[in-house]
Chain A
């Protein structure tokens, strides 16, 4: 990932929040004391990303002006966080974790499945502009590895089949059910609870 804008990305001429997003942005800014508006830079960039699908240079400049910041201060923030997309991405951005726990649980196969199903490599977007496939660092859901992140949702406990089903569902325009794909609840043990399943009255130290 290069942090300079000398690449070939086509930047839009201008950017402005929609009326609805502008209201949201102002609500965010209002949370911070007078003179501390720069704290709102990340939420505002997020709103911009949700509106545009990515964060363009024009959007960063717009946010900078809105918060009375030097544009470079916004560039610094936007380039630091990988969650801000500085290049256009597809409608569905598939971000597969490939860090150690996910890798041990088969994330390489998940990436391979996505490649095959979408016909694009890591960091690429499908020709129809629907899907972008990315490899990301730890998503913090290792207990449900392997994990893939799409939009605002995590898809967990993936295997080759479930990853394929998710992509097919997205292609059909459906929203697959987020969370564990094996049906377990949250991070509960596979196969149901293993502790506190029964009362034990003979614990040493009393019968509490």
Chain B
């Protein structure tokens, strides 16, 4: 390995490392605009110039591989002069509009100017101005500020896989843009806002809303999909102003899907901020004691078998375990956390993304079954694309024909292909078999079907037949779409002996066999089918469930509580309280604890720590926060012949999948822009 000296410090690094990377490793700061550790190297901003002994002129350290015996200086007068010169050139056309620029306060250019900027400009000619472009409802381009680092181009082209941005024109007329008028059609487009080192690309919904130094930053977890992306919630006063990704190489690297980033304006709309009780067919505001006593009155004397509870897609594990404990005490076996009816209830290995998200990097063949990861988990889709870009990765798809941003073989739409792959008669089976680390991803589009357990069994057979699991590799993956799902399955929020599942609960309610239904943030079921049942809705948004409810208990959204969520790969992570729940809304497990007292079935925990101890009791995985416990292989799924209907993805409209995103104005604009008018129009807009 080459050894080099940087500022008098010797370091030995891998061959192929650049000088800038070696300096980063030593903690020596080199300014940069175009270099980004997750993007291809372009070397066009020239800010990272350093002096290399025996080199005739300053060297762009981001693009120069180290060599043995190299002697590098990053702090000589020559380096300083070179960087000052580069910065002066960059500032020639950069407007001095920091006071009205949203990047102000978190701008790389601003920071570097503090270090290398001159106190006055020598450029007396006219500055260049660029016509504003329209990138859709999420990204606000102010291209006059662009310094042409091309980070956004490289991200959109390489990571997001929708090559729509480019640099057109030349010299002073170079413009970064789409050339023809079009909106950025990527579910990851928001990331170019973070990548932009200046204020050329800023967030449209967040524009002129806050300054970075006014924000209280809380590290948390995203719940809009089941990836468990690490996020930072930036709040001012009691309002979430924005959400940005945090780096976690094992989960989201440093990317975030657009829904997770931009749907947070939904947290300020349609909120349930006080309890409601339905009187004479009309929901009326009530106090907590009134709401609880209405529930107690209805439950009094009701047999346990006539009670049922459904947990929604964004419920935290604490609330689910409290609800489960309460209903067990009430004698109800009818619990379900699978609103979509997914046929998952077997051993842990049967419902996890076992290879882990980081494991995708090591795989060498992939089969997707009934899933469109681009809509269900854009960050995972980017990871798959990253693996595909590295080469030697064949992808087969059974399900709808979609643009996945990487080349794939479409094997068929129906489940019959699966049987052929399982028995080895399909040519793709040979590809999987030949691969060292083959993997498959089965989605809720397959599992939520009536024959979901047969498809799950087929997937297991494929995994077994093609050698997807061994001592060190498990390529059987389930991609969830609901953040709460794995947590619910882990703590057994499932029908107990003789209990009803979601379909059973709905059918029972229709027939009058189920009299009370408790919805814990469950909005994705057909409310019409609840019949005459007494519906208790506990949640944070006035969505489908609240409209149907007889009693509404206002809960907290994910930014308003410390909640435990288990991601699709089985990673236990916790959200943190960034703002307080609005009005009289409370943390969800506390509501259930208080209700249990009123019902005379007091739950045995009074603090969050005690609830979490209970969680760990129910399933030890909850004690291992941010660790992945590999699940042991087992037999699961059912035998049988699957139905012939084509497999579909459960998500048509990426931008609206849950109560928060349905309440979001930004997501409504995205739906109108990207999905068209396929969504349900309601009230004033329809």
- Decide: A5 near B179, CB < 8 A? Known: A70-B164, A72-B163: yes
* Min CB gap B286→A, angstroms: 57
Chain A positions within 8 Å of B69 at CB level = none
In Å, the complex CA distance between A57 and B179 comes to 10
Q: B165 near A1 (CB under 8 angstroms)?
A: no
* In the complex, B168 has a CB within 8 A of chain A: yes
Q: A6 near B181 (CB under 8 angstroms)?
A: yes
Chain A, range 1-48, C-beta contacts under 8 Å to B: 1-6
* Min CB gap A76→B, angstroms: 5
* In the complex, B677 has a CB within 8 A of chain A: no
* In the complex, B300 has a CB within 8 A of chain A: no
In Å, the complex CA distance between A75 and B167 comes to 9
Chain B positions within 8 Å of A79 at CB level = 168-170, 179
Residues of A bordering B, CB below 8 Å: 1-6, 57, 70-73, 75-76, 79-82
Chain A positions within 8 Å of B175 at CB level = 3-4
* In the complex, B173 has a CB within 8 A of chain A: yes
In Å, the complex CA distance between A4 and B132 comes to 11
Q: B173 near A1 (CB under 8 angstroms)?
A: yes
Chain B, range 170-214, C-beta contacts under 8 Å to A: 170, 173-175, 177-181
In Å, the complex CA distance between A4 and B182 comes to 12
* Min CB gap B388→A, angstroms: 15
- Decide: A3 near B163, CB < 8 A? Known: A75-B168, A79-B170: no
In Å, the complex CA distance between A4 and B177 comes to 9
Q: B170 near A72 (CB under 8 angstroms)?
A: no
**Complex partner residue of B168 from A3, A70, A82, CB under 8 angstroms:** A3
Residues of B bordering A, CB below 8 Å: 131, 133, 157, 163-170, 173-175, 177-181
Q: B166 near A3 (CB under 8 angstroms)?
A: no
Q: A1 near B169 (CB under 8 angstroms)?
A: yes
In Å, the complex CA distance between A83 and B133 comes to 26
- Knowing that A2-B131, A4-B175 touch, tell me 13 more A-B residue pairs with CB under 8 angstroms: A1-B173, A4-B168, A5-B180, A6-B181, A72-B164, A72-B166, A72-B168, A72-B178, A72-B179, A73-B163, A73-B166, A75-B168, A82-B170
* Min CB gap A9→B, angstroms: 12
* Min CB gap B295→A, angstroms: 58
* Min CB gap B253→A, angstroms: 23
Chain A positions within 8 Å of B168 at CB level = 3-4, 72, 75-76, 79-80
In Å, the complex CA distance between A1 and B168 comes to 11
**Complex partner residue of B180 from A1, A73, A75, A76, CB under 8 angstroms:** A75
In Å, the complex CA distance between A3 and B179 comes to 7
Chain B positions within 8 Å of A5 at CB level = 179-181
Smallest Cβ-Cβ distance to A5: which chain B residue: B180
In Å, the complex CA distance between A3 and B178 comes to 11
* Min CB gap B536→A, angstroms: 52
Smallest Cβ-Cβ distance to A3: which chain B residue: B169
Smallest Cβ-Cβ distance to B162: which chain A residue: A70
In Å, the complex CA distance between A75 and B176 comes to 11
- Decide: A76 near B167, CB < 8 A? Known: A4-B175, A5-B179: yes
Chain A positions within 8 Å of B179 at CB level = 3-5, 71-72, 75-76, 79
* Min CB gap B406→A, angstroms: 14
Smallest Cβ-Cβ distance to A80: which chain B residue: B170
The 5 closest A-B pairs by CB, nearest first: A3-B169, A70-B163, A72-B166, A79-B168, A75-B179
Q: A76 near B177 (CB under 8 angstroms)?
A: no
* Min CB gap A65→B, angstroms: 14
Chain A positions within 8 Å of B163 at CB level = 70, 72-73
Q: Which of B163, B166, B168 has the most CB of A within 10 A?
A: B168
In Å, the complex CA distance between A71 and B180 comes to 10
Chain A positions within 8 Å of B169 at CB level = 1-3, 79-80
Chain A positions within 8 Å of B166 at CB level = 70, 72-73, 75-76
Q: A72 near B165 (CB under 8 angstroms)?
A: yes
Smallest Cβ-Cβ distance to A6: which chain B residue: B131
In Å, the complex CA distance between A5 and B168 comes to 11
Smallest Cβ-Cβ distance to B175: which chain A residue: A3
**Complex partner residue of B131 from A4, A70, A80, A82, CB under 8 angstroms:** A4
* Min CB gap A81→B, angstroms: 8
**Complex partner residue of A57 from B165, B177, B180, CB under 8 angstroms:** B180
In Å, the complex CA distance between A82 and B164 comes to 22
In Å, the complex CA distance between A80 and B170 comes to 5
In Å, the complex CA distance between A69 and B165 comes to 13
In Å, the complex CA distance between A3 and B171 comes to 11
Chain B positions within 8 Å of A1 at CB level = 169, 173
Smallest Cβ-Cβ distance to B153: which chain A residue: A72
Q: Can you name 22 A-B pairs with beta carbons within 8 Å?
A: A1-B173, A2-B169, A3-B169, A4-B168, A4-B175, A4-B179, A5-B180, A5-B181, A6-B131, A6-B181, A70-B166, A72-B166, A72-B168, A72-B178, A73-B166, A75-B166, A75-B180, A76-B166, A76-B167, A76-B179, A80-B168, A80-B169
Chain B positions within 8 Å of A81 at CB level = 170
In Å, the complex CA distance between A88 and B160 comes to 35
Chain B positions within 8 Å of A3 at CB level = 168-169, 173-175, 179
Chain A positions within 8 Å of B174 at CB level = 3
Smallest Cβ-Cβ distance to B165: which chain A residue: A72
Chain A positions within 8 Å of B165 at CB level = 72
* Min CB gap B250→A, angstroms: 31
* Min CB gap A100→B, angstroms: 18
Chain A positions within 8 Å of B170 at CB level = 79-82
* Min CB gap A183→B, angstroms: 37
Chain B positions within 8 Å of A4 at CB level = 131, 133, 168, 175, 177, 179
In Å, the complex CA distance between A29 and B157 comes to 24
Q: Which of B157, B163, B180 has the most CB of A within 10 A?
A: B180
Q: B164 near A2 (CB under 8 angstroms)?
A: no
* Min CB gap B40→A, angstroms: 15
In Å, the complex CA distance between A4 and B131 comes to 9
* Min CB gap B148→A, angstroms: 12
In Å, the complex CA distance between A6 and B177 comes to 12
* Min CB gap A146→B, angstroms: 24
* Min CB gap A45→B, angstroms: 14
In Å, the complex CA distance between A1 and B172 comes to 10
Chain A positions within 8 Å of B177 at CB level = 4
In Å, the complex CA distance between A75 and B178 comes to 9
* Min CB gap A73→B, angstroms: 7
In Å, the complex CA distance between A35 and B170 comes to 27
In Å, the complex CA distance between A86 and B166 comes to 17
* Min CB gap A72→B, angstroms: 4
Q: Which of A3, A4, A6, A80 has the most CB of B within 10 A?
A: A4
Chain A positions within 8 Å of B181 at CB level = 5-6
Q: A2 near B180 (CB under 8 angstroms)?
A: no
Chain B positions within 8 Å of A80 at CB level = 168-170
In Å, the complex CA distance between A81 and B168 comes to 10
Smallest Cβ-Cβ distance to B157: which chain A residue: A70
In Å, the complex CA distance between A4 and B164 comes to 14
In Å, the complex CA distance between A5 and B179 comes to 6
